[in-house]
Amino acid sequence: MTPIDLKSHVQRAVAAQWPAFAAAHPHLAAVIDQGLLVEEASQRLAADPAFLAAMQRAAANQRGVIIAQSVEDFLARWLGRLL
């Protein structure tokens, strides 16, 4: 996966999870720049052992679904740590 592809997956995951996050944490959501969030999440995701393992499984299985689910799982955990 190229960095551009990774970033687009992260952008989609943020877009999918942002409404619930913003509803649960409106003050925090009001001050977070989503563009910076995507950049930081992309960088951290690229170094995440679980994501790297998922990438290896996906390469072996050639399944993009594993990658997308891994991105969403990582982002959910990572957003939870912001609190």
* pLDDT tier, 62 (very low <50, low <70, confident <90, very high otherwise): low
Structure tokens at 44: 């951290």
Assign residue 68 a region: left if phi > 0, alpha if psi is -120 to 50, beta otherwise?
Answer: alpha
Closest CA relative to residue 44, chosen from 14, 16, 19, 23: 14
Mean pLDDT, rounded, for 41-65 = 82
pLDDT-based confidence at 32, cuts 50/70/90? very high
Number of C-beta neighbours around residue 26 at 10 A: 9
Instruction: Quote the CA–CA distance of 52 and 28 in Å, as a whole number.
Output: 29
Confidence band, pLDDT 50/70/90 cuts, at residue 25: very high
Whole-model pTM: value is 0.67
pLDDT at residue 4, rounded to an integer: 53
Residue type, position 53, single letter: A
